Amino acid sequence: MAMVLVGTAASAGSYRGVARLVAGPDEFRLFRSGDVLVCRTTDPAWTPLFGMASAVVTETGGMLSHAAIVAREYGIPAVLGVHDALELVPDGEIVTVDGAAGTVTLAGTQ
Amino acid sequence: MTLLTLHAVRLLGFADTDAVAARFSQDPGLVESTLIDAGRTGLVTRSTFAGASGWLLSSAGRAENERLLAQELDQYRARSLVLEVHDDFGEFNDGVVSACGSLQLGVPKNPEATDVLIGALAAWRPLEARLARTLPRFEGYSDRLLRALKESARDSSWLTGTDRDSFHRVWFEIHEDLIATLGIQRAQS
C-alpha cells in the first residue's frame, strides 16, 4: 500500500523525482538540479534552490506563505505544511509530488 | 560593519559582493574584506547556483547575525518597538500574501488584489517611520514597494517576480528583517 503524505496544495503540477532533504543553508551544496526539495521552512536564502528544484515539499506553511508565491513564480509543484516530512521521507527516495492534489507519494511504497 | 554586512546577506538570501554592499550603502571594498574574513571563520560561504556566484549565510553566520542584532536592540532599547511593529505587520501580512496569490492565479490585472497591496504600503509606511527613528537601517522599504507598484502598471512581474525587486520580494524581505531582528522563527509563512 502506497504511503501518501498530505499537505496544502500550494502550486499546481506533478513531478516524480529524487527527494533531497535539506536541513539548512549548510547543506545547500548537496542539492542537485532536478531534485525534489524537502525542508522544514524557507526564507530568502532558499530562493536559489527553488530555481534548481523540480518540486518543493515543506513541513510548515500553506497557501498564505511566501514559499507558495515563490514556487508559483518558478512554475514548480509545491505541497506545503506536510507534517514530519523530514522524518517520513527518506533522503534519496523517489517521490511523486502532486501540487494540485496536495500529496507526496513515496515510490518505495507504491 | 560586520552587523550590516551579515544582515545584508541574510536579507538578500544569496548575493554577490556589490549587492551586499549596496543593500546598506557600504563601501564595496570594505564589504569584500569583511566577507572574506567572515568566510575564513565560517560565517558565510561562497556558492554557485545555476551559474550565479554569491555569498550565503551559514548556520553559524545566522547565529552571529542574530547575536549582533540582539546587541543592537539592547543598545537602542528597541525590542518592544520592533515587537509592536512585527505584530502590526502580521495583521496585514496574510492579506498581502493572499493578494499576491490571487494575482498569480487569476487574471494579471486584478484591481481588488492591487488595492490590497496599495493599502498595505499605506499601512507599512508609518511603521517604517517609527522603526527608522530608532533603527535607521529599516529605511527604504516603502520607497521600494512604491517603485514596484508603479512599475507593475506596465509589467505585472513587478508584483510577484523573483528576478527583480518586486512587491512580494520586498515584502518577504521586510518579514525576514523583522523576525531576524527579534531572533524568532518563521511560523507559517
Closest CB from A33, A45, A69 relative to B97 = A69
Nearest CA in chain A to B93: A64
Is the pLDDT at A1 greater than 80, yes or no? no
Cell 515543506 belongs to residue: A58
Report, as residue numbers or ranges, the catalytic residues of A. 66
pLDDT at residue B110, as a whole number: 73
Average pLDDT, chain A: 93
Q: Quickly list H helices, B109-162.
A: 111-134, 141-152, 157-160
Q: What is the ipTM of this complex?
A: 0.86
Q: Does B117 contact chain A (CB < 8 Å)?
A: no
Cβ atoms within 10 Å, residue B114: 19
pLDDT at residue B186, as a whole number: 67
What's the rounded Cα separation, in Å, for the pair A2 and A13? 20
Residue range B2-68, CATH number: 1.10.10.10
Could you read off the pLDDT of B99-111 as tens digits, one per residue?
999 999 876 667 8
Could you read off the pLDDT of B13-67 as tens digits, one per residue?
999 999 999 999 999 999 999 999 999 999 999 988 778 899 999 999 999 999 9
CATH topology of domain A4-109: Glucose Oxidase; domain 1 (3.50.30)
Cell of B121: 504600503
Q: Does B161 contact chain A (CB < 8 Å)?
A: yes
pLDDT at residue B189, as a whole number: 46
pTM: 0.91
Closest CA to A33 of A20, A46, A14, A16: A20
For chain B, which residues make up each domain, given as ranges?
Answer: 2-68, 78-182
For chain A, which residues make up each domain, given as ranges?
Answer: 4-109
